[in-house]
Amino acid sequence: MSKQLRGKWPVMILILVCLIVSGCAKQSPSASPAAGQAKIPVSETYYVFDTVVTVKVYDEKIQKDQFAHIGTILDNVELWLNRENKNSEIYKVNQMAGKEAVKVSPEAFKAVKSALQDSIDSNGVFDLTIGPIVSLWGVGQEGAHKPADSDIAKSLALVNYKEVTLDEANQTVKLNKPGMSLDIGGTGKGYAADLIAEYLESQGFHSAIIDMGGNLLTVGQKPDGSDWNIGIQNPDQSRGTSVGTVKVGPMAIVASGIYERFFIENGVRYHHIMDTSTGAPVQNELASVTILTDQSAMVGEGLDNWVFALGLEKGLAYVDSREGVEAVFITKDQKVYVSKGLKGKLVMSDPGFTLMGE
């Protein structure tokens, strides 16, 4: 369950978010927030999905019970979608793989349906049944190591989104083969951010930042009506260090890369973004991809690893073909590429990186 953190955590998170959202507490003296809105946000911090979540609302009217309701939203999403939680609906679906369909809540069904559609649209580059491979490698967990090729082959045989059966009328999910496992935790974080944004808007709060452990969803504009100034994560540095900034309105900003979760074995770095064709971490020229979309945080989360796995050339081409989606690609040799909608909009701040194609 989510836990509201006290002590040092809120201070640390505030520092990190201010680094990412540069200017979050800096406004010109002439800035004039709307009635009730505050220049300095009211914030609450939670621990859920194995990460720190911070919600910052630029409105002095927000109350403790409203932050408590946001905590309930986070708890609910974990109970719907966290495959490691034995009480979750997804855990039950995975336990019944190859046996029977499992009735789930409308919210869980919506998330699974969205992840399945991403799997179909990407022709399996993104696959919601990647669970067996994720478990086998255990990246980010104690004792993670490179599995035997034979074990990879066995797990990879269980990865196939075409073996997921959804029954919309009965709201059931079935995995057709024993041993299959759904893993939609990433898109689940985006889903939670979307639900929190919807709740804040319904309560009359129209200026906020939802930080899901580094991935952001901005609600409305800053209190003075201007756009948010968002930092693009430097993949070579700790979270909160940017290579440059871009101004955005209401937007989901989702970053993923080889810097997040990894282990090193015999001098080789193995990261958490898995290639559904090999059953091993994706190997290409990219260090990170940041997706920016005005559609939803769940859409952004679904696209991020998928676009990363496509690589620079195919990833850029795909993003440029999508409406309402932009991206920043950073290569291992510290070159930065942006999709066509971001041309001229990324302001570089780190001289160690080179912006290409401008």
Q: What is the pLDDT of residue 36?
A: 54
Contact 207, 40 (CB under 8 A): no
CATH 3.10.520.10 boundaries in the chain: 3-24+31-62+206-350
| Structure confidence at residue 26 (pLDDT) | 34
- Amino acid letter, residue 157: A
What averages of pLDDT result for each successive group of 10 residues across the chain (358 residues)?
Answer: 38 35 37 57 92 95 97 95 93 98 96 95 95 93 92 97 98 98 89 97 97 93 94 80 94 90 88 94 95 94 93 97 96 96 95 90
Which pTM value belongs to this model? Answer: 0.86
Q: What is the pLDDT of residue 9?
A: 33
State the pLDDT at residue 156: 97
Domain 3-24+31-62+206-350 has CATH 3.10.520.10: yes
Residues 6+ apart with CB under 8 A from 25: 18, 39, 40, 41
Q: Which CATH number fits domain 84-183: 1.10.760.10, 3.40.190.10, 3.20.20.140, 1.10.3980.10?
A: 1.10.3980.10
